[in-house]
A and B are shown apart, each in its own frame.
Chain A
Amino acid sequence: KAGVTQTPRYLIKTRGQQVTLSCSPISGHRSVSWYQQTPGQGLQFLFEYFSETQRNKGNFPGRFSGRQFSNSRSEMNVSTLELGDSALYLCASSLGLPLNNEQFFGPGTRLTVL
């Protein structure tokens, strides 16, 4: 069974630009969560989607948005990029609610904002 895939793996953008990251969950998994990982802040929860609906959202500004498609693939978008958005963005999928199911993480997208 294929694991969680994320594209692109690396991205370099400049301040003010926008970016879209993609995540394909494990086949059969309907829950997709997104996390931002930085050395100083650890793993920060961004949002979680299930069956195309956003069920939870973390404490991030509205510049961070996401969506999930009918095939469970998910995208997250960051508009008006800031230097502080430089981070590893991880996507994780699970069969059901993340709070009581194992999450499988993708390799992440390393975003650098110049």
Chain B
Amino acid sequence: QQPVQSPQAVILREGEDAVINCSSSKALYSVHWYRQKHGEAPVFLMILLKGGEQKGHEKISASFNEKKQQSSLYLTASQLSYSGTYFCGTAPPLSAGGTSYGKLTFGQGTILTVHP
């Protein structure tokens, strides 16, 4: 099932903060965050794994509530370069097996616009 992202769009002034949420109706093994600028390929931001491990290489923070099957991406002191569409992707636990095993499903995206 496709995760649900909220809000669908957000407009900020430089320096303001924003939170993007990602929610799934099923148990999750991992949540992934990607940013895509207009006309470009999605770029990896972070992976949050069940058990607390995180992998990422940008100064962006995120949380993963395994019990609620929710993740939030925190964008603080936003910069113009943060503008783009943010996608969360979710993967079910390995125990899910079947046709869900290993499959990453992305949400519809959240459009973030940062103005000077």
A and B are interacting partners: yes
Residue positions of A touching B, CB distance < 8 A = 4, 33, 35, 41-45, 48, 55-58, 90, 92, 97-108
Whether the pair A45, B105 counts as a contact (CB closer than 8 A) is: yes
Complex interface residues of chain B between 67 and 116 (CB less than 8 A to chain A): 87, 89, 91, 94, 99, 101-109
**In the assembled complex, which residues on chain B have CB atoms less than 8 Å from the CB atom of A108?**
41
Size of the chain B interface, CB-CB below 8 angstroms: 27
Alpha-carbon separation in the docked complex, A41 to B99 (Å): 21
- Structural contact, A58 and B43, CB atoms closer than 8 A: no
- Is B62 positioned at the interface, with any CB of A under 8 Å from its CB? no
Q: Are A48 and B102 in contact (CB under 8 A)?
A: yes
Residues of B within 8 A of A105 (CB): 34, 41-43
The answer to whether A103 touches B30, judged by C-beta atoms less than 8 angstroms apart, is no
